[in-house]
Amino acid sequence: MARTEQQSNDKFAGRWFWRYAAPAAFYPLAGKIEKIGWVLAVVLAAIGLYMGFFVAPTDATQGEVYRVIFIHVPAAWMTMVIYLAMAFWAGTGLVLGTRLSFMMSHALAPTGAIMAVVALWTGSLWGRPTWGTYWVWDARITSTLILFFLYVGYMALSAAFDDKKKGDRASALIALVGAINVPIIYFSVKWWTTLHQGSSVRPGSSSMATTMLWAMLIMTFAFWAYCVAAAMHRLRTQIIEREAGAAWLDGATK
Amino acid sequence: MYCGYCVGLGGLQGARGFVNPCSSLRLEALAAERGGKAVFTDVSVNVEARTLLRVLGPNGAGKTTLLRILAGLGAPSAGSVQWRAPDDSERSPNEAAMFAGHANAMNEALTVAENLSYAAALAGIDCTPMNLRRALTQLGVEKLINRRFGSLSQGQRKRASLARLLLRAQAGERAWLLDEPFVALDTDTQAQLAALIGEELAAGAIVVLTSHQAVAINAPKMQELML
Amino acid sequence: MYCGYCVGLGGLQGARGFVNPCSSLRLEALAAERGGKAVFTDVSVNVEARTLLRVLGPNGAGKTTLLRILAGLGAPSAGSVQWRAPDDSERSPNEAAMFAGHANAMNEALTVAENLSYAAALAGIDCTPMNLRRALTQLGVEKLINRRFGSLSQGQRKRASLARLLLRAQAGERAWLLDEPFVALDTDTQAQLAALIGEELAAGAIVVLTSHQAVAINAPKMQELML
Amino acid sequence: MSLRAATGAVFRREMQLFARRKSDWANPIVFFLIVCSLFPFAVGSESEKLKLIGIGVIFVGALLASMLSLPRLFEEDARDGSLELMLASSEPLAVLILARITALSLGLGAALTVATPVFALFYALPFDVAGMLALSVALAVPTLLLIGAIAAALLVSARGGAILTAVLVLPLTIPTLIFGAGAALRVLNGQSPVAELALQGAFLLLALALCPLAAAAALKISTD
Amino acid sequence: MSLRAATGAVFRREMQLFARRKSDWANPIVFFLIVCSLFPFAVGSESEKLKLIGIGVIFVGALLASMLSLPRLFEEDARDGSLELMLASSEPLAVLILARITALSLGLGAALTVATPVFALFYALPFDVAGMLALSVALAVPTLLLIGAIAAALLVSARGGAILTAVLVLPLTIPTLIFGAGAALRVLNGQSPVAELALQGAFLLLALALCPLAAAAALKISTD
Amino acid sequence: MNWESWSAFWDMGGRGFFVWGSYGALLIAVVAELLSLRSARKAAIRSLHDDHETL
Ligand code: HEM
Ligand SMILES: Nc1ncnc2c1ncn2[C@@H]1O[C@H](COP(=O)(O)OP(=O)(O)OP(=O)(O)O)[C@@H](O)[C@H]1O
Ligand SMILES: Nc1ncnc2c1ncn2[C@@H]1O[C@H](COP(=O)(O)OP(=O)(O)OP(=O)(O)O)[C@@H](O)[C@H]1O
Ligand SMILES: [Mg+2]
Ligand SMILES: [Mg+2]
């Protein structure tokens, strides 16, 4: 059984983590993080896109179409990173019983799912000119699709409970079960693609110019900043919904 | 129907290997939540053997919630529940008590005997055919032992499912947690159940009861808990 | 709150196009079955406007079954039910009466207003926003009009769903069939509902009521039916 | 006039529910997507094979997704008591049921139709086949929901769940399946799909005429 | 001793239910049969085509049939209150759940395993492939039920039904699907299926070790 | 500078559909997410103040 927040608070009283584990304390901090996130996202995206389109040279083998990479790769990475973060907070919530942890994983899930859609969409559009087809049953691609299913399952499950607290714990459990399965699925799909190799074209890796690499890295940081800001915004909305009636909220939302 | 273990021989090993047939119950600063909202807080009470504890309160006061916590079916948000044997060793709720809620806990496709012996096995009771027949006879439904539960009338169902409480090897051995047990019973059966509760109390059991109906029960000791 | 149509002007066309706002009810040699077994037989009764009909009987006597037949939700196995306007023309149960059973008949994902206007449309009532607001105000829950039904507490739910009865264009226009309406209501709301029933009766309606609780209702005329 | 009000109310409520509870249409789509992506794992990823089974898989997936949405028609209403409002109404029950099915068909049908061509990409199907498949699905979903409503109405008060619904409904949908998948197969083979489409339309009209009446009778039986 | 008695009781009860209610295993088989026979209508009946898709269709059909049987695990018990007997027991919940899943796996697994080679003949698959497919199904059904038990336990107190169960469970079964269908494909191609079978066995063991614990935690969450 | 003219920029060496299709989808996704974030916040604050009235 999970410890209750009260018990945990007593035990760990005074540590910074527990101070911010209280929604009331984290609400203003989340606001600050959110603001910084939006600013960074806009600035970094501006720099990254400028570099990507105007500084980075045309790719020798692919031509201009490779410029999709500046959003495709960051989106694909965020899909995985956010899933891990979501499962981490879900686990924290189950073990420590802190409300904020569950809210954190709920706040991350929709952004993660959107990143999965962006990775799949941009990858498909990129695949057509490079591999001659929109879709290939490649291991990396297929795992991204399954990761998308796991996100949707998590969100659908938490929406299926009228009792929020139960929904929190139930969906946290399914997030953890999914997290254990991700590597199993990845290696199974990899095995499967080698089993069925032949017709499908496999993604080749091209050596990249350093400006391309830089543009991609900067865009990755822009995606990070965006995802953090969006998650913090969603987190604050949830705090408002769930702490309705708490006195401190009146001042905070006026 | 007198429970020797309880009054005089606490801690002595019984003839068939039973230790400490009776219990006492202590709630300390108990609080519970449902759906994130506090239902009750700071409930403390001490119940000895041979006591009837009536839990009172309006709809939604948390009576069912409390009984489920006592049965080990829910966790309190704060405080503690302790079932203790007379020698003061702690017991698990499942060893100490039997819970009967709104639902019958009987599968309609199985016979009465099959349902009851399943319930006994899960409660850790060694249910002999004799025990089973005796329990059904006490409720006047021994004829139904091999009938499919789904083929019984509402009243017969209720009686057959109450037989679960009487499966224990020895009267008074376990506490009874009864949530609105008189609902849907006609007056005869109500009186019969009240008598059974009285006997169990006399034999040394604790009975915790919620009921919106005022049914007279002949209890050695009585306590009330208002939620 | 006096229903002129009913007493003096039976059959006259009302100002807003309503004919015959009140009804009378006649049961003749009514019998019903559930699951192949007779529940009651040979029930005959005659109920005029402004009458409270209390249906009495133990659990399983068939009170709910009877009310559902009156509402047109079930068919009798023998006999007949006739709802009649004062000019003696026959009316369908849906035009003549509104039924409120154990369930709230409100969808949890929709708002109170959406639920109520759906119910009104199916009952053939032309539900204006004003009607709706007035009904909710009478029950003291006008603030909840745009709240999702699922977000209400049990008591708020019960009140909001009772507002369905008050949506009729004119008091006394329809008979009310109430199956255990006081269950789960606190004493204040019980009194409030009893007063509303009294007003509806005074305005000319028939009210048919089953209740295991004894709540005082101020009725112009009262009949009892024992099942 | 009152009939119009009642039907309008039933239809509007269904649409409000769709708008309010995203999972009602999102889950069937995701289910559809998952079923479609299971087959390549079992059959192999060679695009020739995939092209062969693609039409069948997508069509069966859409059938299963709409079949599993059937409980939505009456189950929740039966639980919360609002089904009685519909049963007690003096308007003809069949028309009210038809309004409900129409709303569900529009919501679910639109979602599945939009998703179909996207999934066709998984199976390396050409654009014109994908389009025809979407049209077939758009015609098939209402037919299936109409037939399925009868089973859903019968099962309101029975134990058995999704699997019994499937056992009752799926055999009845075989004609729709044959001609629905057939139309897309024709296009894949460069032939004209007109005959198949006409037959699908005929099935839909027949279902429109008969199924609401049967579902109304079934609902009366199972709630009596 | 008491643990053995309790587990035995859970197992025995499940078996009695299977014996008493034929529809519990008959319906999934019929569903399986229907799904398997839908595809030839949609794909065409040339035996070359059928052979290509047969393994995949049969395997996915078995997955869907066992997934739709999942509600049987806890739903009815939650409704009639007997789930509480299991929850209140002092024996470890995970072991009791394992006993239940074992019984269901034996009942449903046996039925599906016996049906598989018959359906394989529909798809013109050779005997050795049919046999290997039956073995694969026999290994896959328990794995699926173990994984699915987690979702079934979570959904005891949630709205959502069969379709949400599918959305939660199916993605997690992809590894089982890959190696289960893979083993039969190997035999079809005249290769050795040992590696695939070994991996399937490994998944089953892993699921045996982890899933009952997760399902017990899930059940506690949803009945709290 | 990579591009001779704006039209060359939009053309992306003949692959404009794929490149702008990708960036456009990202834009739509981001805008949709931002809108839904904002409407969810508004709804939360509205129901917060509704609650206060009825308490
Ligand atoms: C885990 C998810 C993914 C990651 C980490 C990822 C990462 C990458 C990286 C680093 C590249 C550039 C390096 C290279 O050329 O190999 C790339 C290229 C590509 N990706 Fe992804 N990707 C993911 C998912 C997807 C998906 C879902 C699709 C398609 C729907 C896709 C389609 C492509 C295509 C077409 C290319 C260009 C390949 C080429 O240059 O030949 N990727 N991806
Ligand atoms: N499953 C649940 N999820 C969320 N809240 C619940 C749940 N069950 C009960 N509650 C709430 O918990 C509170 C206590 O409920 P409980 O059933 O314990 O009351 P009770 O005293 O037994 O009432 P009654 O006299 O009606 O049986 C109520 O406010 C109720 O609304
Ligand atoms: N769905 C059903 N199928 C078969 N029999 C039923 C069904 N519902 C009720 N019955 C039976 O019909 C009889 C009358 O039931 P009804 O619900 O009308 O009683 P009631 O007088 O309303 O009782 P209560 O006071 O408990 O509300 C009972 O014997 C009951 O067992
Ligand atoms: Mg209670
Ligand atoms: Mg009744």
Residue to mutate among C112, C139, C147, with most F CBs inside 10 A, is C147
Please state, in angstroms and rounded to a whole number, the distance separating the CA atoms of residues C201 and A137.
72
Nearest residue on chain A to B77, alpha-carbon basis: A4
For residue A252, give Cα distances in angstroms to A20, A239, B207, F39, F48.
Answer: 16, 11, 50, 18, 12
Asked if residue B175 is part of any domain, the answer here is: yes
Q: What is the ipTM of this complex?
A: 0.85
Give yes or no for residue E213 having a pLDDT over 80: yes
For residue C45, give both structure tokens.
């009764």
Q: Which amino acid is at A250?
A: D
For residue B58, give Cα distances in angstroms to B62, C88, D114.
Answer: 9, 47, 53
Q: If you take atom 14 of ligand 1, which residue's CA is the nearest one?
A: A205
User: Regarding beta strands B24-34 and B78-84, do their DSSP bridges make them parallel or antiparallel, or are they unpaired?
Assistant: antiparallel
Q: What is the DSSP letter of E124?
A: T
Coil, helix or strand at residue D216: helix
Give yes or no for residue B5 having a pLDDT over 80: no
Partners of C38 in the beta sheet? C33
Tell me, letter by letter, the H, E, C secondary structure of D164-206. HHHHHHHHHHHHHHHHHHHHHHHHHCCCCCHHHHHHHHHHHHH
Q: What is the pLDDT of residues A92-146, one digit of tens each?
A: 999 988 889 999 999 999 999 999 999 999 998 888 888 888 887 888 888 899 9
Q: Work out the number of other CB atoms within 10 angstroms of the CB of residue A148.
A: 23
Lowest-confidence region among B207-211, E48-52, E215-219: E48-52
Instruction: Judge if the beta carbon of residue A132 lies within 6 A of ligand 1.
Output: no
CATH number for region A36-245: 1.20.120
Only one residue has tokens 């509303």, namely C196
Give yes or no for residue B19 having a pLDDT over 50: no
Judge contact between D83 and D152, C-beta under 8 A.
Answer: no
Q: What is the pLDDT of residues B45-59, one digit of tens each?
A: 999 889 999 998 776
Q: Is C167 exposed, middle or buried (0-12, 13-18, 19+ CB in 10 A)?
A: buried
Coil, helix or strand at residue C18: coil
Interface contact C165, partner D, CB < 8 A: no
Only one residue has tokens 């179409």, namely A65
Residue of A53, A63, A121 with shortest CB distance to F25: A121
Q: Which residues of C fall below an 8 Å CB-CB distance to F?
A: 143-144, 146-147, 151
Give yes or no for residue C211 having a pLDDT over 80: no
Instruction: Judge if the beta carbon of residue A115 lies within 6 A of ligand 1.
Output: no
Tell me, letter by letter, the H, E, C secondary structure of B49-61. CCEEEEEECCCCC
Report the number of distinct structural domains present in chain B.
Answer: 1
Which ligand lies nearest to the CA atom of residue C34 in the structure? Answer: 3
Residue to mutate among A199, A200, A201, with most D CBs inside 10 A, is A199
At residue C15, the pLDDT reads 40
Lowest-confidence region among A220-224, B84-88, E187-191: B84-88
At residue D160, the pLDDT reads 67
Per-residue burial over C84-93, b = 16 or more CB atoms within 10 Å of its CB, e = otherwise? bbbeeeebeb
At residue A220, the pLDDT reads 95
Q: Please choose, from the candidates B81, B82, B89, the residue with its C-alpha nearest in 3D space to the C-alpha of residue B19.
A: B89
At residue A135, the pLDDT reads 82
Q: What is the pLDDT of residues B88-104, one digit of tens each?
A: 888 888 888 999 988 88
Please state, in angstroms and rounded to a whole number, the distance separating the CA atoms of residues E143 and E203.
7
Interface contact C33, partner D, CB < 8 A: no
Partners of C178 in the beta sheet? C100, C209
Segment holding A48, helix H or strand E? helix A23-50
Query: Phi and psi (nearest 5°) for C80?
Result: -145, 155
Interface contact B77, partner A, CB < 8 A: yes
Judge contact between E165 and E172, C-beta under 8 A.
Answer: no
Asked if residue C3 is part of any domain, the answer here is: no
Query: Phi and psi (nearest 5°) for A27?
Result: -50, -55
Segment holding C39, helix H or strand E? strand C37-47
For residue A145, give both structure tokens.
């699709």
Give yes or no for residue D109 having a pLDDT over 60: yes
Q: What is the pLDDT of residues C60-115, one digit of tens each?
A: 788 888 999 999 888 899 999 999 887 778 888 888 899 998 788 999 889 999 99
Q: Chain A residues with CB inside 8 Å of D46's CB?
A: 196, 198-200
Judge contact between B145 and B126, C-beta under 8 A.
Answer: no
At residue E76, the pLDDT reads 87
Q: Mind giving me the DSSP string for B88-157? A: S-EE-HHHHEEEE-SS----TTSBHHHHHHHHHHHTT----HHHHHHHHHHTT-GGGTTSBGGGS-HHHH
Q: Work out the number of other CB atoms within 10 angstroms of the CB of residue A33.
A: 17
At residue A9, the pLDDT reads 46
Give yes or no for residue E57 having a pLDDT over 80: yes
Q: If you take atom 13 of ligand 3, which residue's CA is the nearest one?
A: C60
Q: If you take atom 13 of ligand 1, which residue's CA is the nearest one?
A: A205
Q: What is the pLDDT of residues F2-55, one digit of tens each?
A: 777 777 777 777 777 888 889 999 999 999 999 999 999 998 888 777 654 443
Residue of E6, E79, E223 with shortest CB distance to B122: E6
How many angstroms away from the CA of D193 is the closest CA of chain E?
A: 15
The helix-helix angle for D110-122 and D47-68 (nearest 10°) equals 160
Centroid of chain to Cα D178 = 15
Segment holding C53, helix H or strand E? strand C51-56
Q: What is the pLDDT of residues D168-218, one digit of tens each?
A: 888 888 889 889 988 998 898 888 889 989 999 999 999 999 999 999 999
**What is the end-to-end Cα distance of chain B in Å, rounded?**
33
The chains in contact with chain E, meaning 3 or more Cβ pairs closer than 8 Å, are: A, B, D
Please state, in angstroms and rounded to a whole number, the distance separating the CA atoms of residues D188 and D200.
18
At residue B62, the pLDDT reads 85
Below-70 pLDDT ranges, chain A = 1-20, 195-208, 245-247, 250-254
Is the backbone of residue D175 left (phi > 0), alpha (psi -120 to 50) or beta? alpha
Please state, in angstroms and rounded to a whole number, the distance separating the CA atoms of residues A198 and D200.
39
Segment holding C52, helix H or strand E? strand C51-56
Report the number of distinct structural domains present in chain D.
Answer: 1
Centroid of chain to Cα E52 = 24
Asked if residue C8 is part of any domain, the answer here is: no
Q: Where are the domains of chain F?
A: 26-55
For residue A209, give both structure tokens.
């110019």
Q: What is the pLDDT of residues E145-174, one digit of tens each?
A: 999 999 999 998 887 778 899 999 999 999
Tell me the residue range of the domain where C89 lies: 13-226
Please state, in angstroms and rounded to a whole number, the distance separating the CA atoms of residues E148 and B36.
28
At residue A12, the pLDDT reads 47
Higher pLDDT, D52 or D200: D200
User: Regarding beta strands C221-226 and C51-56, do their DSSP bridges make them parallel or antiparallel, or are they unpaired?
Assistant: parallel
Q: Is F10 exposed, middle or buried (0-12, 13-18, 19+ CB in 10 A)?
A: exposed
Instruction: Judge if the beta carbon of residue A200 lies within 6 A of ligand 1.
Output: no
Mean pLDDT throughout E203-215?
95
Please state, in angstroms and rounded to a whole number, the distance separating the CA atoms of residues C212 and B191.
19
Residues in A 157-186 with any Cβ partner in E closer than 8 A: 157, 160-163, 166-167, 169-170, 173-174, 177-178, 180-181, 184-185
Judge contact between D108 and D141, C-beta under 8 A.
Answer: yes
In whole numbers, what is the pLDDT of chain B averaged over residues?
83
Please state, in angstroms and rounded to a whole number, the distance separating the CA atoms of residues C195 and B11.
61
Q: Please choose, from the candidates E185, E181, E135, E145, the residue with its C-alpha nearest in 3D space to the C-alpha of residue E165.
A: E145
Tell me the residue range of the domain where D179 lies: 2-223
Judge contact between D110 and D93, C-beta under 8 A.
Answer: no
At residue E116, the pLDDT reads 94
Segment holding C82, helix H or strand E? strand C78-84
The chains in contact with chain A, meaning 3 or more Cβ pairs closer than 8 Å, are: B, D, E, F
Q: Is C213 exposed, middle or buried (0-12, 13-18, 19+ CB in 10 A)?
A: exposed
Asked if residue C215 is part of any domain, the answer here is: yes
Per-residue confidence band for B112, with pLDDT thresholds at 50, 70 and 90 = very high
Give yes or no for residue C194 having a pLDDT over 50: yes
- Count of alpha carbons within 13 Å of E118, Cβ hemisphere only? 11
Q: What is the pLDDT of residues D76-97, one digit of tens each?
A: 888 888 999 999 888 899 999 9
Give yes or no for residue B154 having a pLDDT over 60: yes
Distance A203 CA to ligand 1 centre (A): 7
Q: What percent of chain B has pLDDT over 70?
A: 87
At residue A26, the pLDDT reads 87
The domain spanning residue B183 has which CATH number?
A: 3.40.50.300
For residue E222, give both structure tokens.
């949803």
At residue B23, the pLDDT reads 81
Q: Do A159 and D23 touch (CB under 8 A)?
A: yes
Partners of B221 in the beta sheet? B51
Q: Please choose, from the candidates C171, C149, C168, C169, the residue with its C-alpha nearest in 3D space to the C-alpha of residue C160.
A: C149
At residue A195, the pLDDT reads 66
